[in-house]
Amino acid sequence: MIQTRELFQLTLKVPSIVDLGQTPKGIRKIARVTGGEFHGERIKGTVHEGPGGDWMLLRPDGVLNLDVRITLETDDHQLIFMSYQGVRHGPQEVMDRLGRGESVDPKEYYFRMVPSFETSSEKYAWLNKIVCVATGRRDASGPTYHVYEVL
What pLDDT is stored for residue 18 in this prediction?
Answer: 94
Is the model's pLDDT at 53 over the cut of 90? yes
Q: Is the preceding peptide bond at 51 cis, omega within 30 degrees of 0?
A: yes
Q: Nearest 5°: phi and psi at 108?
A: -85, -5
Residue type, 105: D
For residues 88 and 69, give the distance between their C-alpha atoms in angstroms, rounded to a whole number: 17
What pLDDT is stored for residue 87 in this prediction?
Answer: 97
- Mean pLDDT on 101-120: 95
Q: Is the overall model pTM greater than 0.85, yes or no?
A: yes
For residues 103 and 119, give the distance between their C-alpha atoms in angstroms, rounded to a whole number: 34
Give me the domains of the chain, ranges plus CATH numbers. Answer: 4-150 (2.40.160.20)
What pLDDT is stored for residue 15 in this prediction?
Answer: 87
With contact defined as beta carbons under 8 Å apart, do 143 and 17 qualify? Answer: no
